[in-house]
Structure 1
Amino acid sequence: MDLNKLDIFRLTNSKMGWLSERQTVLAQNIANADTPGYKAKDLKAPDFSSMLNTTRDVPVAKTSEGHLMGTIKRADFRTIQEKSRDIYEMNPNENGVIMEEQLIKVNDSNMNYKLVANIYKKNLSMFKIALGVNR
């Protein structure tokens, strides 16, 4: 069975691949921190929210009179992403790499990778349990 045909595995693989590539770009930025005229680069994030919107929603079924249908709409849980502020700082050699900013991005990518890898691992574990396969 190809797990990439399942939405959760396709999305986690895509996110982990992007985070790995971003880590490489950020490492290049840090390596060129003293290169005169070098400008920091970053990968443009794919629109993961649109990928999520292409997944199939499973409707909640009320199978018993005792079940509650819920009163909160799904759209009420959407978050608004805060815009990052511009940092105007330049090294003496006119280099655009700000080490603190790069290290924050590296740490953010690292935490997100661990989170997505854990989601992948937990879902794979649930599939193995459902199939009766030894872990």
Structure 2
Amino acid sequence: MSLTDLPLLGMLRTRMHWHQARQGLLAENVANADMAGFRPRDLAEPSAGSAALAAPLGASVGGDGLARTDSGHIGLSASAGPNADPRRFKGFEVRPSGNGVNLEEEMMKAGDNQADYQLVATLYQKSLDALKIAVGKR
């Protein structure tokens, strides 16, 4: 077992992949802000105790880099899946064309998502640094 196979590091890696996938959906929402009938989507927040956060050893890794033990785990496709849910945002009317994208809200979400990703990436790097110190490689 290598140092990078620790459950904590696996959870941080999975969280970074989730933030990357969410950023893609938020960018898609902004890109389709003028498309008639488009509904904004967002990824469901993974639960802290979920087994899907820590990739088990021997799990298959898909083309997106995430280990998948079930087809329903953290889907990253742009199609409507179990994690992409169309939402009508509170306090915002859907335009007559049927478009429900609020650019200000999407950009706020994108900024928050980027900050959260940077936090998780920093935690991952600091954890690796601490492990290197512990084994005497630094």
Aligned to 2:6: 6
Which ranges of 4 or more aligned residues in structure 1 deviate by more than 6 Å? none
1:34-53 counterparts in 2 under 5 A? 34-50=34-50
Q: Secondary structure at the match of 2:41?
A: coil
Q: Residues 3 and 10 of structure 1 are in contact (CA less than 8 Å); yes or no, is this contact kept in structure 2?
A: no
Aligned-residue identity in percent: 38
Q: Secondary structure at the match of 2:92?
A: coil
Does 1:94 pair with 2:98?
yes
* Post-superposition CA distance 1:28-82 (Å, at most 9, x none): 000000001100011111112456xx9xxxxxxxxxxxxxxxxxxxxxxxxxxxx
Q: Residues 25 and 41 of structure 2 are in contact (CA less than 8 Å); yes or no, is this contact kept in structure 1?
A: yes
Counterpart among 119, 131, 135 of residue 127 in structure 1: 131
Q: Residues 30 and 106 of structure 2 are in contact (CA less than 8 Å); yes or no, is this contact kept in structure 1?
A: yes
Distance in 2, Cα, partners of 1:92 & 1:4: 51
1:92 deviates by: 4.7
Q: Secondary structure at the match of 1:42?
A: strand
Q: 2:123 corresponds to which letter in structure 1?
A: I
Q: Number of residue pairs matched? A: 102
1:5 deviates by: 3.1
The answer for unaligned runs of 5 or more in structure 1 is 55-84
1:10 deviates by: 1.1
Greater share of residues in helix: 1
Distance in 2, Cα, partners of 1:105 & 1:18: 14
Q: Residues 35 and 95 of structure 1 are in contact (CA less than 8 Å); yes or no, is this contact kept in structure 2?
A: yes
Q: Secondary structure at the match of 1:96?
A: coil
Indicate the RMSD between aligned Cα atoms, in angstroms.
Answer: 2.0
Structure exhibiting the larger radius of gyration computed from Cα positions: 1
The answer for unaligned runs of 5 or more in structure 2 is 55-88
